[in-house]
Structure formats: structure tokens, C-alpha cells
């Protein structure tokens, strides 16, 4: 078992960069007292590919700086056999007209199996698909039918098998990280001089995170606000 760690998928870091909140990561890491890891596939999605597109180059450079500063570290000892095994289970768990649906990204699966391997505290993941698959596989059918506008046939045995193998993995989202930063006072410099300044700030950062890629509903934001404003 290594030192305590959290793995990051691609989406949450993009959400934080686009929301101009990525600067909270060094402060959160200091409070956490452990490692913040990304896998090589996630690094490729965050830096290598965006650097080829002028529109996204500065976002990629911001992530590159986090690596240079040691805030994010590359975890290379990926259990590839396990990742492939789980990827195959996931991608044969749902069908449309007898055609399997490929629903898992490489970076997502690498992050999850690596976290499982070292007993990491959590995986930070904004994309709803894998998170829902881990937490409630049967709800995936509804999500996929909504997404594809077609009838989806689930393989219940494989859904159960996938869930059992990833039992215990804790999934958190970028919006929860922003909530923690708020609770710790990291965002206090942004509180406006208004009657309900703290509420205005919290509302602003949570909705910014949603609009920049975090899969969260308006109802979930209201629940999180109520909890954080207690």
C-alpha cells in the first residue's frame, strides 16, 4: 500500500481549468497530505493532444505546470491486464440491436484500476457514464437509452460482475473539490461585499464548474449549497 492518493481523470482537470479554478489543486493537495496522480493516458488527453490545437494550448500548459511543480504526478505502474479485463466486461454489458456499446475511455479505466491497486482514497471523475456504472449499473440502461434514443439491452450478469470488481471505489467530482475548497476558506478572497456574499460566491463557483463540464444536476447543486452553507 502506497501513501494515500487520489487519481484524477481528464474531465475534472479540464473543468477546473476552464472554470479558472485549477489553482485550488496545490492548496487542496497540501491539505490532503497525499499524492495527486494522473495516468499516462490522462496526461496525453490533457497535454499532448491539446498542444496540437491553438485554441487549447494554454489550457494544456496550465496542466503541464502542475506536473512540473509536482502537484500532479504521473502514475505509470498501470495494471494493464486488469484494465483490459474490465474494459472488455464493460464494453459487452450493453447492446443496441445485438451490437455492443463501447462505453469506457482508456484514461477512465486506467485511473480506476490503478486506484484499486494501491487502495487510493478516491478517483475524481466528472463524466457520468463510468461513475454511474460503478455506483448503479442498472441506471446505466436509462442513461444510454436517453443518450442514443434507442432501446438498450443490458447483460445483467456482466453488470453485476463489473460492479463487484470495482466495489469500494469512491468517485468524487470536480464540483465536490470546489465545495471542499470553499469550506476550507481557500476561496474567501472572492467573497463579494454583499448581504449574502458567501452564498453568491458559492453559487458562482458551483455553476461555473457545471457549465465547464462537470456532470451535475441543478438539484444536486442546490443540495450541495445547503450542506456547505450550514
| pLDDT tens per residue, range 151-171 | 999 999 998 888 888 888 899
| Residue 96's CATH number | 3.40.50.1010
Residues 33 and 145 in one domain: yes
Phi and psi at 16, nearest 5°, equal -70, -40
Residue 138 has a pLDDT of: 79
Strand blocks (E) in 93-227: 94-96, 99-100, 122-124, 153-154, 171-172
- What is this structure's pTM? 0.91
**In the block, residue with C-alpha cell 505546470:** 65
Name which of 39-48, 134-143, 194-203 the model is least confident about. Answer: 134-143
Count of structural domains within the chain = 2
Residues 149 and 216 in one domain: no
Integer CA distances (angstroms), 58 to 91, 107, 180, in order? 34, 21, 26
C-alpha closest to that of 105 among 120, 76, 83: 83
Cell numbers at 33, concatenated: 497530505
As a whole number, mean pLDDT of residues 1-26 equals 91
Residues 96 and 184 in one domain: no
> Exposed/middle/buried for 211, CB within 10 Å: 0-12, 13-18, 19+?
exposed
Phi and psi at 159, nearest 5°, equal -60, -45
Q: What is the pLDDT of residues 69-120, one digit of tens each?
A: 999 999 999 999 999 999 899 989 999 988 998 888 887 889 999 999 999 9
Name the residue range of residue 29's domain. Answer: 1-174
Phi and psi at 229, nearest 5°, equal -90, 0
Residue 1 has a pLDDT of: 44
Residues 140 and 104 in one domain: yes
Q: What is the pLDDT of residues 18-42, one digit of tens each?
A: 999 999 999 999 999 999 999 999 9
Amino acid at each position: 500500500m502506497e501513501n494515500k492518493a487520489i487519481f484524477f481523470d481528464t474531465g475534472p482537470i479540464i473543468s477546473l481549468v476552464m472554470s479558472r479554478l485549477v489553482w485550488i489543486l496545490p492548496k487542496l493537495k497540501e491539505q490532503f497530505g497525499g499524492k495527486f496522480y494522473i495516468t499516462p493516458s490522462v496526461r496525453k488527453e490533457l497535454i499532448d493532444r491539446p498542444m496540437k490545437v491553438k485554441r487549447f494550448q494554454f489550457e494544456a500548459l496550465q496542466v503541464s505546470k502542475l506536473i512540473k511543480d509536482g502537484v500532479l504526478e504521473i502514475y505509470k505502474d498501470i495494471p494493464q491486464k486488469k484494465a483490459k479485463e474490465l474494459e472488455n466486461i464493460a464494453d459487452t454489458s450493453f447492446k443496441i440491436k445485438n451490437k455492443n456499446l463501447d462505453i469506457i475511455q482508456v484514461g477512465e479505466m486506467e485511473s480506476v484500476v490503478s486506484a484499486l491497486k494501491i487502495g487510493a482514497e478516491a478517483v475524481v471523475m466528472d463524466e457520468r457514464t463510468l461513475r454511474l456504472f460503478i455506483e448503479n449499473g442498472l441506471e446505466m440502461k436509462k442513461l444510454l437509452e436517453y443518450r442514443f434514443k434507442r432501446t438498450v439491452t443490458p447483460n445483467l450478469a456482466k453488470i453485476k460482475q463489473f460492479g463487484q470488481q470495482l466495489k469500494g471505489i469512491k468517485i468524487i467530482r470536480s464540483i465536490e473539490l470546489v465545495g471542499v475548497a470553499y469550506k476550507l476558506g481557500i476561496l474567501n478572497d472572492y467573497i463579494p461585499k454583499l448581504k449574502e456574499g458567501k452564498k453568491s460566491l458559492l453559487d458562482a463557483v458551483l455553476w461555473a464548474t457545471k457549465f465547464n463540464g462537470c456532470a451535475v444536476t441543478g438539484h444536486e447543486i442546490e443540495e450541495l449549497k445547503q450542506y456547505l452553507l450550514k
